[in-house]
């Protein structure tokens, strides 16, 4: 596993960048093996996010619920996914956009009948239409969605790289 992070200061711009790698039990920071004390420090700092989860709680029950929710998300691997209880392939929002644009009159009426504030139901409706496509059409939609996802990811990475070189 490898995590890269760039550090920028609001005033002074780019401060530095690091690469943390965990390979076969060895923790490496910028290619240098970390001593056990440094690994323990990083692990404790990471676990601080569980405390952050309940920082604004109004009651013991709310604090415990927030703690458990974050803990469960970490264990399930869904941490960092917005509003998702289960992970999905990253190109699926593009699949849904394609399906939404391809809606015929009957399905468009059904989609629009779902309240706009019920995004989960709208998402499920579009997913079901996608799943109902024959194999050839599903493959074509996925191919286009993957291209769109790759282009979107490349644009985001280019913007991030550009932002790291400027100071406003």
Tens digits of residue pLDDT in 96-149:
999 999 999 999 999 999 988 888 889 999 999 999 999 899 999 999 999 999
Model pTM greater than 0.85?
no
Q: Order across the sheet with 13-23: list the strands.
A: 2-9, 13-23, 26-29, 32-33
Count CB-CB contacts under 10 A for residue 85. Answer: 10
Q: Are strands 32-33 and 2-9 parallel, antiparallel or unpaired?
A: unpaired
pLDDT band of 84, cuts 50, 70, 90:
very low
Tens digits of residue pLDDT in 43-82:
998 888 888 888 878 889 988 998 998 898 888 887 765 5
Angle subtended by helix axes 60-76 and 36-53, to nearest 10 = 130
- 3-state SS assignment for residue 21: strand
Backbone angles phi, psi at 2, to 5 degrees: -140, 135
């Amino acid at each position: 596993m490898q995590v890269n992070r760039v550090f920028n200061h609001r005033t002074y711009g780019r401060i530095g960048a690091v690469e943390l790698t965990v390979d076969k039990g060895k923790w490496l920071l910028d290619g240098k093996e970390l001593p056990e004390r440094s690994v323990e420090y990083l692990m404790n700092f990471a676990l601080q996010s569980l405390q952050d989860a309940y920082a604004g709680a109004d009651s013991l029950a709310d604090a415990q619920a927030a703690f458990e929710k974050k803990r469960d998300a970490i264990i399930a691997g869904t941490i960092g996914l917005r509003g998702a209880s289960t992970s999905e392939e990253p190109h699926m929002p593009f699949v849904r956009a394609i399906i939404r644009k391809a809606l015929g009159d009957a399905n468009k009426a059904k989609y629009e009948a779902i309240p706009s504030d019920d995004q989960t139901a709208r998402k499920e409706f579009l997913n079901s239409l996608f799943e109902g496509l024959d194999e050839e059409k599903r493959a074509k939609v996925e191919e286009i969605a993957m291209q769109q996802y790759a282009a979107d990811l490349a644009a985001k990475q280019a913007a991030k790289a550009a932002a790291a070189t400027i100071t406003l």
